Amino acid sequence: MNVRVGAATDIGRVREGNEDSFLAREPLFAVADGMGGHLGGEVASRLALETVERLFEERAGSLTEQVEEANRAVFERSQQDRGVAGMGTTLTAALVEGERVRLAHVGDSRAYLFREGVLHRLTEDHTLVHRMVQEGEITEAEAERHPHRSVLTRALGVDPGVRVDEGYVRISPGDRLLLCTDGLTGMVPERRIGTVLGDVADPQQAADRLVSEANAAGGVDNITVIVLDFSGNGEPDDPVRAPATATIPDDAPVPAGDERRAGRDGPAAPGRRTTRRAIGAGVAVAVIVVALVGIRLYLDSQWFVGVSDDRVAIFRGVPAQVVGLDLSSVVVETAIEADEARALALYRDLDEGITAEDRESAEAIVEQIRLDVARARADGP
């Protein structure tokens, strides 16, 4: 199978740095979306892809094992270097192996197959809102607008081990594969992505067009896109091939401590999905344990300012509840009376939480509240 490649990455229209990275070195392609402040995000996504690329060149292990090793590399760096502590990244990789493409995936970047005018999503987002949709708490449409839609339940580099979704898809001539970060899918509806992929024949032009559409829609995040076009090896009549099977497994439960093995089961056999579902129903307790651990991993790097015991406080986590469980904990309780802050129009919604990028920003918000409250008191009635 011959591959033609188009790839583009763009800072977008709002962010000050580009924390996305991509790798396009045939037959290995990947996108990564870093997080953890400017520096951390850039380091995490780049280090993860460099690690996968190096191990691939050394022919060390399977794609999933290379991604697991990338996880360790990012985690260790974040432990050693305070400047990038808490960083992490998504990673969605595609390895072309003859007439099929192997996929490995962690986070909320995505892989799609565009075949005969229809766009098929191949990966599942590891996000809080996706889990809430699965649990029937919110609808797909609500998830798309949810204020915490970018909170990840799984990411690379935030823990010594990570569970990697793995699968493969059979490719036929004429197929188009899309890898992208959420800077595209958060801005451009899937229907529109499909239209662009159907309209623009050249893969580089298609990638560029998708980036410019994301920017036209606001470009609030970094945008990265890889488009792969497959064609036969010049034979006029390619034999009819089996229909594509997207075998990236569901967010199936794996008992804690068994997660390393999860990605190494080799090629997914037909029916594995069903099996996994059946296992999932059987070990409900394990599901809850894994879900909580998964959420906590990344929630620990989220911050917001809210109210605790009628005082302004700094929290770690997100101001939301899932199945009745608090996803946050108080880190610092200040002496500022919540009532005094709420009395100012700016902080009327304090109880819902004001999100902050990191602890320093949360402290800066508290200082601003302190100043504003003092000023209001001085102006007095």
Chain residues that interact with Mn ion, rule: CB under 5 A:
33, 181-183, 221
Indicate the residue among 181 and 302 with the shorter CB distance to Mn ion.
181
Q: Give the nearest distance from C-beta 109 to Mn ion in angstroms.
A: 8
Q: Give the nearest distance from C-beta 47 to Mn ion in angstroms.
A: 17
Alpha-carbon distance values, 322 to 83, 101, 221, 251, 330 (Å):
32, 35, 26, 17, 17
Indicate the residue among 9 and 78 with the shorter CB distance to Mn ion.
9
Indicate the residue among 189 and 282 with the shorter CB distance to Mn ion.
189
Indicate the residue among 33 and 259 with the shorter CB distance to Mn ion.
33
Q: Give the nearest distance from C-beta 221 to Mn ion in angstroms.
A: 4
What are the residue ranges of helices labelled H in the chain?
Answer: 37-57, 63-80, 128-134, 140-145, 182-185, 190-199, 203-216, 259-262, 272-282, 284-299, 338-342, 359-379
Residue with tokens 């990840």: 152
Q: Give the nearest distance from C-beta 125 to Mn ion in angstroms.
A: 12
Query: Residues 268, 247: contact at Cβ < 8 Å?
Result: yes
Query: Residues 156, 44: contact at Cβ < 8 Å?
Result: yes
Q: Give the nearest distance from C-beta 51 to Mn ion in angstroms.
A: 20
Indicate the residue among 221 and 251 with the shorter CB distance to Mn ion.
221
**DSSP assignment, residue 83?**
G
The span from the CA of 111 to the CA of 124, in Å, is 9
The span from the CA of 186 to the CA of 170, in Å, is 27
**b or e along 32-71 (b: 16 or more beta carbons within 10 Å of the residue's beta carbon)?**
bbbbbbeebbbbbbbbbbebbbebbeeeeebbbbbbbbbb
Q: Give the nearest distance from C-beta 183 to Mn ion in angstroms.
A: 5
Indicate the residue among 182 and 251 with the shorter CB distance to Mn ion.
182
The span from the CA of 336 to the CA of 350, in Å, is 12
Q: Give the nearest distance from C-beta 70 to Mn ion in angstroms.
A: 18
Indicate the residue among 31 and 254 with the shorter CB distance to Mn ion.
31
Token digits of residue 272? 């594995």
Indicate the residue among 110 and 209 with the shorter CB distance to Mn ion.
110
Token digits of residue 185? 């899918």
Q: Give the nearest distance from C-beta 104 to Mn ion in angstroms.
A: 19
The span from the CA of 214 to the CA of 227, in Å, is 15
